[in-house]
Amino acid sequence: MLTRKQQELLGFIDDRLKADGVSPSFEEMKEALNLRSKSGVHRLINALEERSFIRRLPNRARALEVLRLPEAMMGAMAAPAARPALKLVPSPRPPVQAMIAANDTITVPLHGRIAAGLPVEALESDRSLAVPAALLGPGDHYALEVSGDSMIDAGIFDGDYALIRRCEDARDGDIVVALIDDSEATLKYLRREKGLVRLDPANSAYEPQRYRPEQVRVQGKLAGLLRRYH
């Protein structure tokens, strides 16, 4: 059974997809459900995905697919007054092309900036990044722009684009995107130490960060890097 907020979000996504074929942005979902932060949207999306009501489409920005609706919502479709009323805002952008065959690149979502120093919020955005297909293996990927210098000894510099393969598990020593308290994300080495999760920098000027296991969720592992030269 879905919570009220989960049902409202599922209905909002379903309405948007039927209206213009594009799923709403995280900012639009936050406003429609009157949530205080995008981290609440992330939690709802993850819950719906775990229950197989939606799925993320690989290599596409803002791409969600509704797999099914609960029986309660199917009944609400026959009686519209029973369905939660949410503001439906026209999407400002068309769907992003998943692959660009002409130069063998793949377009992946670019989700804001991530700290390679102190944690900062990893912001959802509508931008995308064209990545050489050879840099990516199997799986669903996204990109984050690196901010900070705490991973420079691992060859990761401020302004680099970190290419991340989505996953929820990692081994000790993997470089991961770690979501802390469902609100802040950071790029660090993952270690487990005496019942705690330790996030290690690759710069002696920074100290490791230690958290209780329930505070940290792995959002993906580093798959590659892109760097611009000015």
Q: Known catalytic residues?
A: 150, 188
Spatial separation of the C-alpha atoms in residues 10 and 65, rounded to whole Å: 10
Residue 207 neighbours by CB distance under 10 Å: 9
Residue 80 neighbours by CB distance under 10 Å: 8
Phi, psi of 16, rounded to the nearest 5 degrees? -65, -45
Full DSSP string of 93-123: SPPPPSEEGGGTEEEEEEEEEEESSS-B---
Closest CA to 57 of 106, 93, 102, 92: 106
Spatial separation of the C-alpha atoms in residues 149 and 196, rounded to whole Å: 24
From residue 1, alpha-carbon distances to 47, 77, 187 in Å are 11, 18, 35
Q: Is 211 left (phi over 0), alpha (psi -120 to 50) or beta?
A: beta
